Amino acid sequence: MRDVVNKERAVELVEDLLSRERQESPRMAGPPELAVLDVEEHALGWLVFVQAVEYIRSRDTGKMVVGHGPYLVDRQDGSIHHIPVTTFVGEGWEELYLQQVRGVRPPDLLITDVLALVCSDGTMAAIRNLRKQAPLLGPQQAKAYVTALRDGKQPAEELVGLTRKPQMCPPLPISTLAGPAR
């Protein structure tokens, strides 16, 4: 697919967003004025880093906005998304973006393993192995999971969710701030 957004257009879109946000919030005790500091190309689009205008002018670290995180301008449609800094510096923000924004289901190695067992050792062996790997699944749930795979379907999302280890500190969600660019 051909890129819709180049670097210059990504900067323009974020600057327009910042301008709209400035107009919507009163200047009295609001947040400092932000401007584009840096732009990096990424496989998903353009990471646009913003910072307080006062910091950009003076380089005085006391004027920095801390903990903001970059914007991602999607290269396919120009939509703008904010990635919280804790999500950005953690692992897997790209997968989170693909899942939350584009609806791409992450690859599941357990599905591949269970399907291979169904083919090699049969349904019961696959169910037993699945229950060892995912103890939150009850016998009927494990059977439904394996049966779906055996029949060429994907297991229901609620069953797949029970196979994943819960995250102690899940990443903050990625926010969509502006839809596809015109």
| Helices and strands counted in the chain (H then E) | 8, 5
3-state SS string for 20-66: HHHHHCCCCCCCCCEEEEEEEEECCEEEEEEEEHHHHHHCCHHHCCC
Confidence category of residue 2, pLDDT binned at 50, 70, 90: low
> Does residue 25 fall inside a structural domain?
yes
Q: Which two tokens stand for residue 33?
A: 């004025």
53 with 79, same domain?
Answer: yes
Total domains in the chain come to 2
Instruction: Examine residue 175 and state whether it is found in any structural domain, yes or no.
Output: no
142 pLDDT above the threshold of 90:
yes
Q: Is residue 82 located within the same domain as residue 131?
A: no
Identity of the residue numbered 30: G
Q: What is the pLDDT of residue 1?
A: 54
Name the residue range of residue 86's domain: 7-105
Is residue 65 included in any domain, yes or no? yes
Please check whether residue 148 lies inside any domain of the structure: yes
Question: Average pLDDT of the chain?
Answer: 91
Answer yes or no: do 14 and 99 share one domain: yes
Give domain status of residue 174, yes or no. no
8 A C-beta contact, residue 125 and residue 117: yes
- Do 46 and 89 have their domain in common? yes
Domain match, 75 and 139 both = no
Q: Which of 25-29, 107-111, 144-148 has the lowest mean pLDDT?
A: 25-29
Do residue 88 and residue 122 come from a single domain? no
Residue 100 and residue 114 share a domain? no
The verdict on residue 147 lying in a domain is yes
Q: Residue 179 domain-assigned?
A: no
- Do both 65 and 16 map to the same domain? yes
Task: Examine the domain organization and report whether 141 and 93 are in the same domain.
Answer: no
This model's pTM is above 0.85: no
**3-state DSSP assignment of residue 49:** strand
Q: Does any domain span residue 169?
A: no
Tell me: do 17 and 68 sit in the same domain. Answer: yes
With a pLDDT cut of 90, the percent of the chain lying above it is 75
62 and 114 fall within a common domain: no
| Residues 132 and 120 grouped into a single domain | yes
pLDDT of residue 4: 82
pLDDT tens digits for range 11-68: 999 999 999 988 887 666 677 899 999 999 999 999 999 999 999 999 999 999 998 8
